[in-house]
Structure 1
Amino acid sequence: MKTYLSSILLLICFTAAAQTPDEALRTAWFTQNGSARNMATGGVMGSLGGDITANHVNPAGLGLFKTREFVLTPGFALNNNKLNYRGTDTAGKKNAFNYGTSGIVFGAAGRPRSKWTSSAFAISVNQVANYNNRIQFKGLNNVSSFSEQYLEELIRDRADTNAALSNYIFGSSLAFRTYLIDTETDAGGNVIGFQSLVPISTGVIQRYDATTRGGYNEVALGLAGNMEDKLYVGGSLTIPIIKYQRDLVYSETDATNNPSNDFQFFEYKETFTSKGIGVGAKLGVIYKPQEFWRIGFAFHTPQLMTFTDRIRSSMTTNTEGYAPPARTESSDNLNSGNAGERKYDLTTPWRAIASASYVFREIVDTRRQRAFISADLEYVNYRGARFSAVDNNNTNLVNYYSQVNEAIKDTYKGNINFRIGGELKLHTIMFRLGGAYYGSPYKDDAIDASRLVASGGVGYRDHGIFIDLTYAHTFMKDAEFAYRLNDKPNTFAEQMGSRGNVVLTLGFKF
């Protein structure tokens, strides 16, 4: 994989740790989530409408509502993680509660002699992405070490021993104070650089264990109009709210068990939290060119978000006879007990959705419709994510984020997602099937990444009450990086796990 610009590893002393492209992808690459009906049909909602999920996909679909409706969608996710790191397989599971689109829709008929047949307003909330998971992997590595990122940082900054002791309190200073990293001297005892005590050539056992929590939640206020049951237009104001926490334990242990090679192990612990809120918009149109057919188009503007991140970290290193005994240092000790903090802005990628639906017995009375099949084609510009400084007067920060954004463009690309699904209606009972494919956001072809979704469900509707139950299974391929270096090819764990999602929607018209 292409190495990242050196700026990615830059540590600005009054902030926490460096930004990486992963943080941008966390708010951009996810599968469609919505009501149980929407999930059962693969997440299609670009041209279908008539479901509260339209408020988060194509708001024009709200225009099909002519009555009021309340919807509640609880869910449960089952994570089954399988990772391979340098030939070693690791498996783990992590389950968590989640939710789909929930809220209320107010539909009403238009005024007499008005070209607008009806209109609708909706307030809803949807969990766009669920971050509750646990990623674990381990393997033997005799090519690179986590510690080398600290060497790169100190050498690049031409740091002296005082800087190494105090200026990098969430990483390099912890390594230097515990002797994972030490000075390198010439024959005369003069300091000429820094060295890692990790015996890379003979190999180390690397272990990565990260527990993540939180979610990407979206509040949407939508408005749509229906012109003569032929043309539907709509838009929604969206408020993204993100809360993310990662508790990481990473370690490297001597693979030889040699008691005299000046290294037994080191362990790095980190607690990272990120909270963000922002604003965006989604605009859409649905048109019926002829009976039975619906064609839709939606555009999601970039979400403009402001984040506050906090970090705490610690390190324990045992260098055997080099600097006994085992030593521990923490960022709390070096930062008066305070977490490191940074604030920044993030602009998420834009999206465009083109869609078509065929509705059997397409009539105004939806109770007499018998079936539908629908498909969405979505383009996401993953490489369009952009970080920026909150304080534009700080030239160093502005330049820093500019270089981080260049790294994002070098790492990701735009790609297409495809969704298809259908429903068969037998009076009050409905059966649904769907599927979806989400292409890789990575520019590097060496990373095999994709998400394939298979879903199905049943529904019941009668006398204004509806109950839908769905199971969606996602097969995931992705890459997990323990660390990144500039002067060596980056190694990563291949993720081949899956996620099951059980979704129940309860609703009623009033």
Structure 2
Amino acid sequence: MSKPYSGLAFLFSLLTSSAAFAQYATDALRYSEITQTGSARFQGLGGNHASIGGDPSSIHGNPAGLGFYNRSEFTFTPAVTIAGTKTSYLGNDTKESNSLINIPQASVVFTSQPGFQRKWKRSAFGVSFSRQQSFQNGYTYGGRNNNSAYIDNVIEGVNGAKTSVSDLERDFDSGATGGAVAYSIPAAYYQMYLINPTTEAGPPYQALDGNSVVDQTGTFTSKGAVSQWTFAYAGNLNDKFYLGGNIGFSRIRYEYSSTFSDDYVDSPELTYIDQFEDFTVRGNGFNFSLGAIYKINPMFQIGGTLASPTFSAIKETFSQSVAAGYVDGKVTGPDGNLITPPYTSIPIAPNDFEYSLIGPLRGNIGATVFFQNKGFLTGTIEYAGYSGMRARTSYLTSADNDAFKTDVKSEITDTFRNTVNFRLGGEIRANIFRARLGGAYITDPYLDQSDGIDRSKIVASAGVGVRTDRFFVDLTGTFTTYKSAYTPYYLNNPITYGSAEITNRPVNVMVTGGIFF
């Protein structure tokens, strides 16, 4: 067996574990969650799209809203996002903040001439670019761990799999172009004398130091977005019934880099072991939706949208490396004598993978009440079918492809639930001036909350605007708060390892400018 195939075989033997398939279930959610989108006006209203139109957000929201347009329009929206986090790990709190300038929305709408003698009064066609999700994030965590270190995770893995020494040696190439490379984390640990066999075959293995206390620190930085180009068409029947449809072409860009360090306290062998990870994802997909809005009377209208899942093709690359420091630059060798370790750092060969993803089915219904020309109040109830997400691949053997599809499906249905979200917003009008408030509650999609973390999101927004016969400008600030968690490694006994609890509080400030033509 060649070394590249050996490494992949080792990788996919790990993929049969629930923890690895949980990774792909989590990835499916990451690329499918939508918190709040649209122009500054619609974000100021809490992200309501269901039953109100005449805004460029209708192109990717409820396309029926394009039927309210009576003149063509161009809009552009720049924004600044400040991602603030507070992380708690092993009793220690750390704060982090980073900012990003981005373009969450741009659009153009073309309207037809009115048909005064026809029931079909007017139609409109719109094209928009929208930022559906932002992956901008970063945090640091750290604390003293008296119970375990990352090396314990490696030991449990090789002992549980009864990995032989010959397997570990096959997963290492000392003569690779560019220098030595491992095809698995355990192979790197073995070559660096961090784990050692106790039998001729290998298992059970023991850690070079499995007893010392460690000071653990970690960093995580991510960037990227899910963006979408949407093409929509809508019409207006008797100024009462508005019907529209759209098709969207999405692009996924996601990258993260993470580090994790065990700094050994009073160890006779080690000063530190560092883990490094880099993950890059690129993907493309498409979706479509149908929407309708019905004006019951001049004061009240209702609407709703049914959106298909997003069908995406995804390519990813995962890279790792390991580095270690030894007391006095020496390590205990197989014969019990101190030797100079042959390697103090080893890269893991990058793993490439391709798969397709089916996102959740979505829908919403809403209502809007108008107070003559003084403003309105609008609300939306949204549905997201997260338990229906699916993933499949043709990257492996036929049997492994089937196993991937089946096991990821099982992990998704065991991990996520379908959710219902709520949005409410209002606008006050005074001549050319506008003022808006909005809010949203995004339900936690996780079935199991045994870790004590409620991952639901609270969104609050406020905005102002000016609208004339020639142009309009809207300014909105949005504040979101939610919790998440990051676990650097897992062990069989959950009380021996820790998770970083992260409080996320991003702030988004955006300006939408538009001109009529």
Query: 1:433, CA displacement in angstroms?
Result: 0.8
Identify unmatched segments of 5+ residues in structure 1: 1-8, 362-368
Q: Distance in 2 between matches of 1:67 and 1:292?
A: 23
User: Which residue in the other structure is 2:129 paired with?
Assistant: 125
Q: Distance in 1 between matches of 2:152 and 2:11?
A: 15
1:261-280 paired onto structure 2 within 5 Å = 262-280=269-287
Aligned residue identity for 2:236: N
User: Which residue in the other structure is 1:172 paired with?
Assistant: 186
Do structure 1's residue 236 and structure 2's residue 250 form an aligned pair?
A: no
1:125-274 paired onto structure 2 within 5 Å = 125-167=129-171, 169-185=183-199, 191-199=202-210, 202-254=212-264, 257-260=265-268, 262-274=269-281
- Among 457, 479, 485, the alignment partner of 1:451 is 457
Query: 1:135, CA displacement in angstroms?
Result: 2.0
- What TM-score, normalized to structure 2? 0.87
Cα distance change of structure 1 residues 501 and 291 upon mapping to structure 2, 3 Å threshold? same
User: Which residue in the other structure is 1:95 paired with?
Assistant: 99
Q: Distance in 2 between matches of 1:485 and 1:121?
A: 55
- Among 322, 345, 356, the alignment partner of 1:345 is 356
User: Which residue in the other structure is 2:178 paired with?
Assistant: none
User: Which residue in the other structure is 1:4 paired with?
Assistant: none
Query: 1:86, CA displacement in angstroms?
Result: 2.1
Cα distance change of structure 1 residues 140 and 407 upon mapping to structure 2, 3 Å threshold? farther
Query: 1:341, CA displacement in angstroms?
Result: 1.1
RMSD of Structure 2 on Structure 1 (CA): 2.5
Cα distance change of structure 1 residues 288 and 325 upon mapping to structure 2, 3 Å threshold? farther
User: Which residue in the other structure is 2:346 paired with?
Assistant: 330
Whether the aligned pair in 1 keeps the contact of 2:209 and 2:267 (CA below 8 Å) is: no
- Among 72, 84, 88, the alignment partner of 2:88 is 84
Cα distance change of structure 1 residues 252 and 89 upon mapping to structure 2, 3 Å threshold? same
Instruction: Give the match's secondary structure for 1:53.
Output: helix
- What TM-score, normalized to structure 1? 0.88
Q: Distance in 1 between matches of 2:149 and 2:47?
A: 42
Q: Distance in 2 between matches of 1:486 and 1:24?
A: 25
Q: Distance in 1 between matches of 2:340 and 2:402?
A: 43
User: Which residue in the other structure is 1:5 paired with?
Assistant: none
Instruction: Give the match's secondary structure for 2:41.
Output: helix
Q: Deviations over 1:424-480 (max 9, x none)?
A: 111111111111111211112222212111111110111220111111111122222
Do structure 1's residue 462 and structure 2's residue 468 form an aligned pair?
A: yes
Instruction: Give the match's secondary structure for 1:455.
Output: strand
Q: Distance in 2 between matches of 1:146 and 1:454?
A: 39
Matched residues, number = 482
Cα distance change of structure 1 residues 102 and 169 upon mapping to structure 2, 3 Å threshold? same
Whether the aligned pair in 1 keeps the contact of 2:138 and 2:222 (CA below 8 Å) is: yes
Q: Distance in 1 between matches of 2:40 and 2:262?
A: 44
1:50-69 paired onto structure 2 within 5 Å = 50-69=54-73
Whether the aligned pair in 1 keeps the contact of 2:212 and 2:266 (CA below 8 Å) is: no
User: Which residue in the other structure is 1:358 paired with?
Assistant: 369
Aligned residue identity for 2:399: T
User: Which residue in the other structure is 1:3 paired with?
Assistant: none
Instruction: Give the match's secondary structure for 2:11.
Output: coil
User: Which residue in the other structure is 1:6 paired with?
Assistant: none
Q: Distance in 2 between matches of 1:443 and 1:154?
A: 31
Q: Distance in 2 between matches of 1:47 and 1:55?
A: 13
Whether the aligned pair in 2 keeps the contact of 1:68 and 1:104 (CA below 8 Å) is: yes
User: Which residue in the other structure is 2:311 paired with?
Assistant: 304
Cα distance change of structure 1 residues 484 and 301 upon mapping to structure 2, 3 Å threshold? farther
Q: Distance in 2 between matches of 1:70 and 1:113?
A: 28
Q: Distance in 2 between matches of 1:145 and 1:416?
A: 40
Query: 1:331, CA displacement in angstroms?
Result: 3.5
1:321-470 paired onto structure 2 within 5 Å = 321-322=331-332, 325=340, 327-331=343-347, 335=349, 339-361=350-372, 369-391=373-395, 394-445=398-449, 446-470=452-476
Query: 1:182, CA displacement in angstroms?
Result: 2.7
Identity of aligned residues (%): 30
Instruction: Give the match's secondary structure for 1:67.
Output: coil
Whether the aligned pair in 2 keeps the contact of 1:35 and 1:505 (CA below 8 Å) is: yes
Cα distance change of structure 1 residues 176 and 49 upon mapping to structure 2, 3 Å threshold? farther
Whether the aligned pair in 1 keeps the contact of 2:14 and 2:20 (CA below 8 Å) is: no
Identify unmatched segments of 5+ residues in structure 2: 1-8, 172-181, 334-338
Cα distance change of structure 1 residues 385 and 204 upon mapping to structure 2, 3 Å threshold? farther
Mean alpha-carbon deviation: is it higher for 113-122 or for 174-183? 174-183
Instruction: Give the match's secondary structure for 2:12.
Output: coil
1:479-494 paired onto structure 2 within 5 Å = 479-485=485-491, 488=494, 491-494=498-501
Q: Distance in 2 between matches of 1:418 and 1:158?
A: 50
Query: 1:292, CA displacement in angstroms?
Result: 1.0
User: Which residue in the other structure is 1:506 paired with?
Assistant: 513
Cα distance change of structure 1 residues 312 and 191 upon mapping to structure 2, 3 Å threshold? closer
Do structure 1's residue 471 and structure 2's residue 469 form an aligned pair?
A: no
Query: 1:348, CA displacement in angstroms?
Result: 1.2
- Among 44, 49, 68, the alignment partner of 1:45 is 49
Query: 1:178, CA displacement in angstroms?
Result: 2.2
Instruction: Give the match's secondary structure for 1:497.
Output: strand
Cα distance change of structure 1 residues 86 and 213 upon mapping to structure 2, 3 Å threshold? same
Cα distance change of structure 1 residues 443 and 330 upon mapping to structure 2, 3 Å threshold? same
User: Which residue in the other structure is 2:175 paired with?
Assistant: none
User: Which residue in the other structure is 1:12 paired with?
Assistant: 12
User: Which residue in the other structure is 1:34 paired with?
Assistant: 38
Aligned residue identity for 1:258: D
